[in-house]
Amino acid sequence: MKYYILLINLITLTLASTPFYYGFSFSNGYDNNVLRFSSSEVKEINSNMTSIDGIDKMDSYISKFGFKVDKTIYIQNKKEVLGKINASFSNFHQNEYKKYWSGGFDLIYRWGYYKNFKYSLRHLNNFYLRHYINRDISITQNEPCLFTDQNQKITLTHTIKRRLWINFTTGFLQRYYNDPFQEFDLDVYYFRFKFNKKVDKIGQVAIQLESGNANSLLISNNYRPSFFDRSYDYLEWYIPFILKLKLKEIKQVGISIRIENRMYEAEDLNDPLHSGRDHHDIKYDLWALYKINQNVSIRFSTRYRERDTYSQYKWVSNLKSFNQLQTWLKLEWNLVYDKY
């Protein structure tokens, strides 16, 4: 059904007598811990000069190509309907398994300044995590574990007063794994609230709270080799701050912090990897936007991520805790095509 919806949206976009706004982006990046190795695993690789799961590289250079198309489908007075399409293709050069594409579209009804209703669909295709042992058939055989996400959400945006607005979002995320890891399939329901404020002559600040529940599909999936419950609840805080600069080229600098607390619902002592486990995941982001001209910009960004896992089993805490550093340099080119 999603492909028919996307096709209808594409056809509709081409019919309206309004300009096309489109753009291309090229990114190069670096990830120092692609497979999210724990500190103990990093020490094992460095001390023994061996590989884990057949991968002897912890880091990788990354290249990404993306494009987007925006178009107004309908406009009358202050009311308009917009369509947006985007896609990107990522390649991790030091890891043959980590190549994937993602994309989606937005359909937006807007009736005023920061007053809109938006439906979004996002797809992440075959995102590689790591090789894991398929214990249903072996205690030594490794197989690649990948998942595919399909995320649908509805967002209502409305102003409170001048330079102050809020977003309400409700969403449904389907995270399904490849064979033989379907027992980890999850349906995630979430709600998000975001409070936004523009500060005169300074920039913009926001605070966002998201709460969700991931349900393990242990009843409907008859192929499950076990009956362990991988369900969890989570609570996430996100605080971004964008500083607008008066410099000629550098238009803005931004920082943000994102904190997630996840609590697993498993209570089965035969499943020590999930039973009584929770984690604290924090991400620090820093970015700067450099404008070359009206259409071309360069964005530099970096992220430091730290996850601390808590479990009654020390080996689980050591295995699932990790640190990660990523840096990106993105070149973006925005254009307008108006045949009318």
- For residue 45, the SS3 value is helix
What CATH number is given to the structural domain containing 144?
A: 2.40.230
Specify the pLDDT at position 249: 73
Specify the pLDDT at position 75: 87
Assess if residue 250 is contained within a domain: yes
Specify the pLDDT at position 55: 60
Per-residue pLDDT of the chain (340 residues; tens, 9 = 90+): 565 566 556 555 555 678 888 999 999 999 999 999 888 888 777 766 555 555 657 899 999 999 999 998 888 888 999 999 999 999 999 888 899 999 999 999 999 989 999 999 999 999 999 888 776 666 677 889 999 999 999 999 999 998 999 999 999 999 999 988 888 899 999 999 999 999 988 899 999 999 999 998 865 555 555 567 788 999 999 999 999 877 767 788 999 999 999 998 766 666 666 666 788 999 999 999 998 888 999 999 999 999 998 888 788 888 889 999 999 999 999 988 876 5
Assess if residue 92 is contained within a domain: no
Assess if residue 99 is contained within a domain: no
How many Å apart are CA 184 and CA 186, to the nearest integer? Answer: 6
Q: Give yes or no for a contact between 302 and 279, defined as CB atoms under 8 angstroms apart.
A: no
Specify the pLDDT at position 154: 98
Assess if residue 53 is contained within a domain: yes
- Partners of 145 in the beta sheet? 130
Specify the pLDDT at position 99: 93
Assess if residue 227 is contained within a domain: yes
Contacting residues for 187 by C-beta, under 8 A, at least 6 apart: 172, 173, 174, 175, 214, 215, 217
Predicted TM-score (pTM) of this structure: 0.88
Domain that holds residue 153: 22-69+129-337
The total of structural domains in the chain comes to 1
Find the Cα–Cα–Cα–Cα dihedral 7, 10, 11, 17, rounded to 10°. 170
Contacting residues for 276 by C-beta, under 8 A, at least 6 apart: 264, 266, 267, 311, 312
Assess if residue 7 is contained within a domain: no
Assess if residue 5 is contained within a domain: no
Assess if residue 97 is contained within a domain: no
Q: Give the number of other Cβ atoms within 10 Å of residue 225's Cβ.
A: 12
